[in-house]
Structure 1
Amino acid sequence: MLLRPLRGWAAGALRLVRPGSPRSPASGPRPRGAHRGAWSPDKDRGQEKEKKSVICIEGNIASGKTTCLKFFSNTTDVEVLTEPVHKWRNVHGHNPLGLMYDDASRWGLTLQTYVQLTMLEQHMHPQMTPVRLMERSIYSARYIFVENLYRSGKMPAVDYVVLSEWFDWIIRNIDVSIDLIVYLRTTPETCYQRLKMRCREEEKLIPLEYLDAIHCLYEEWLIKGSLFPVAAPVLVIDADYHMEKMLELFEQNRKRILTPEKRKHGL
């Protein structure tokens, strides 16, 4: 049942793609930002979209993403999109997030299908300000959490392939390009201690080994560059510090995160 809404998105996206645009899977993924103009034949609207920036805040569970987003949330011309966790906890009365943590082998595909759909919604949400900060992205949903389920043996190969095919189709045909990844880099041990302090219901079942696996995948993806393509430049901020120090670091990196001119010339 959860695949039905995603099919609806696919059909809608096909109607929005300009006629004559190449869509052959054999051509491979486009370079980042190459399909920014695919949504509108109007040149001015395309240029208007180009002026807007999308920054994704990435990191392990309890790495400080919420703190970072709250810090910038009152900044002029900045909008914040948090992870739609409330949707993952309640799909017409069902809690696929809780089910997945309870039995990942049974419910991993169910949750990740819905995560992929809701993160796609986040990327496609009309942007009203010059700068958008997003908590994670459709990329980390696939490259980190789906990948972890598969590597840990809790997702069958057929489920992994189906989700991967959906993801590959999305990035070829829909504009989910981003301009910067801010990686809040933490040790698994720090995240584990923070989890125990904040006591969220589903997170009570998360062991240190799970956080370590997520950390390793983030390191492979964003630091070593050996896992999957990186969708944007990466700004790494060490995030093992206490709250006051983290707020200082966010302030020190404000221009690097929020100013488009800084990103155009590299970090």
Structure 2
Amino acid sequence: MNNQSQVILSLGSNLGNRLENIQLAIDAIHYTVATVVKVSSLYETPAWGFESNSFYNCALVLQTLKSAPQILDEILILEIKLGRVRNDPKGYQARVIDIDVITYNEEIVETEKLQVPHPQMQNRLFVLLPMRDLNLDWRHPILQKYLPELVQLSEDKSNCKVVQKLKSPLEKIDLQKYNYIAIEGNIGAGKTTLATKISEDFNAKLVLERFADNPFLPKFYEDQSRYAFPLEMSFLADRYQQLSDDLAQFDLFKDFIVTDYHIFKSLIFAKVTLAEDEYRLYKTMFDIIHKEMPKPDLYVYLYQNTEQLLKNIKSRGRSYEQQIPAEYLDKINRGYLDYIKTQTDLKVLIIDISNKDFVENQIDYVSILDEIQQKIQ
């Protein structure tokens, strides 16, 4: 899957309970638009360009798979829900909440409704100072300057002062308690997508299964009886090698490890695909390897019904997967659930995502994080 884009928003309020307005906006953005991964301090700044009450301002970093125009459309809808009234006057006005899209990665976007980077950002300390708090390695794609340089060069000399610290919504999710989290699921369940999002949002080392490099996989879907054993043996060897290497290598700059598979999936798939005598031989090899593998601190299984799995497989378009029968997926699901029932010493969380779309619907992604947090507690 594609890596997420990084979006910076600027928030402001100078009507009503300014702190409450800002906090409500942060939470609403996180739950309905995109994941809020960083929040600046809260600043009090004089009104810019007109006479009015002082503003509270802050900046946010979002991570998302959505496009810049899509983010803008959702932000405009959210502003209205939060009480923003746009009378389209000539000039600026006081407002309950103001949310501006300032940057989208280091890209230049110019549409009828959106310009990023925001054309006035370099002239406004109430935007630059909160952005500088975020400690980003971001360079203005037009001016070719980093945030400290933009602050230093700005002609705005407004008195912008820090009021208090603000918390990111992700601070409530304490995944750093674990060293190793495995995300599992059937073919097309979305385990790679979820593992990737979690790794990016929580600064985790990501380990993805190298299935695309397996030369037996396309052949297996054409002739299962002939290629099942070499496929499963090659998967077992590769998974063992990859997990042994990656789990042993500690990354000083990452907080934990998240994978999109666990070594035990080898036995689950082998039991479905192999003949009885092949399976006995395979299990002998597997048992030797399994004893040496570290167990995840949390094992998350994404349950997806077979009908939705087939839709997901079709939409992602891998040619060799298009003929996978529903019966095969049913067997894999049962294999996982049977395995989970036997794991008395493994912390397991089953999440039914049959009616969730955690890529398009932010609230679905947040609900998954909430379930993981409840399991931690």
Shift of 1:131: 1.3
Structure 1 Cα separation of the partners of residues 346 and 303 of structure 2: 17
| Structure 2 counterpart of 1:134 | 259
Task: Give deviations 1:120-144, integer Å, cap 9, x for gaps.
Answer: 12321223233111111111111x2
Higher strand share: 2
| Structure 2 counterpart of 1:242 | 357
Structure 1 Cα separation of the partners of residues 250 and 344 of structure 2: 23
| Structure 2 counterpart of 1:219 | 337
| Structure 1 counterpart of 2:212 | 86
Structure 1 Cα separation of the partners of residues 188 and 275 of structure 2: 28
CA contact (8 A) 1:239 1:246 kept: no
| Structure 1 counterpart of 2:346 | 232
Structure 1 Cα separation of the partners of residues 324 and 346 of structure 2: 30
The one of 142, 145, 150 equivalent to 2:269 is: 145
Aligned residues: 195
CA contact (8 A) 2:263 2:290 kept: no
Structure 1 Cα separation of the partners of residues 369 and 180 of structure 2: 15
Higher helix share: 1
Structure 2 Cα separation of the partners of residues 206 and 247 of structure 1: 30
In structure 1, list runs of 5 or more residues that go unmatched. 1-50, 89-94, 150-154
Q: Which moved more, 1:123-132 or 1:57-66?
A: 123-132
Greater length-normalized contact order (CA 8 Å, ≥ 6 residues apart): 1
SS at 2:201 equivalent: coil
* Structure 1 pair 230–249 and aligned structure 2 pair: CA distance change class (3 A): farther
Q: How does 1:146-225 map to 2 (within 5 A)?
A: 146-149=270-273, 155-172=274-291, 174-222=292-340, 225=341
Q: Does 1:113 align with 2:266?
A: no
In structure 2, give the amino acid aligned to 1:130: D
SS at 2:269 equivalent: helix
Tell me the percent identity. 26
In structure 2, give the amino acid aligned to 1:233: K
The one of 112, 122, 132 equivalent to 2:242 is: 122
Q: CA RMSD in A?
A: 2.4
* Structure 1 pair 120–77 and aligned structure 2 pair: CA distance change class (3 A): same
* Structure 1 pair 220–58 and aligned structure 2 pair: CA distance change class (3 A): same
CA contact (8 A) 1:221 1:230 kept: no
SS at 1:74 equivalent: helix
| Structure 2 counterpart of 1:20 | none
Structure 2 Cα separation of the partners of residues 66 and 246 of structure 1: 17
Structure 1 Cα separation of the partners of residues 240 and 278 of structure 2: 19
Q: Which has the larger radius of gyration?
A: 2
In structure 2, give the amino acid aligned to 1:234: V
Q: Which moved more, 1:229-238 or 1:189-198?
A: 229-238
Structure 2 Cα separation of the partners of residues 139 and 147 of structure 1: 11
Structure 1 Cα separation of the partners of residues 303 and 310 of structure 2: 14
Q: Does 1:101 align with 2:221?
A: yes
* Structure 1 pair 181–108 and aligned structure 2 pair: CA distance change class (3 A): same
Structure 1 Cα separation of the partners of residues 187 and 345 of structure 2: 21
* Structure 1 pair 187–59 and aligned structure 2 pair: CA distance change class (3 A): same
State TM-score, norm by structure 1. Answer: 0.66
Structure 2 Cα separation of the partners of residues 231 and 138 of structure 1: 16
* Structure 1 pair 205–248 and aligned structure 2 pair: CA distance change class (3 A): same
| Structure 1 counterpart of 2:162 | none
Runs of 4+ in 1 over 3 A off after TM superposition: 228-231, 243-247, 252-257
State TM-score, norm by structure 2. Answer: 0.48
Structure 2 Cα separation of the partners of residues 175 and 163 of structure 1: 17
SS at 1:137 equivalent: coil
In structure 2, list runs of 5 or more residues that go unmatched. 1-176
* Structure 1 pair 205–74 and aligned structure 2 pair: CA distance change class (3 A): same
Structure 2 Cα separation of the partners of residues 194 and 170 of structure 1: 32
Shift of 1:246: 6.0
Task: Give deviations 1:3-43, integer Å, cap 9, x for gaps.
Answer: xxxxxxxxxxxxxxxxxxxxxxxxxxxxxxxxxxxxxxxxx
Structure 2 Cα separation of the partners of residues 230 and 200 of structure 1: 36
* Structure 1 pair 235–64 and aligned structure 2 pair: CA distance change class (3 A): same
CA contact (8 A) 1:96 1:110 kept: yes
| Structure 2 counterpart of 1:65 | 191
CA contact (8 A) 2:182 2:258 kept: yes
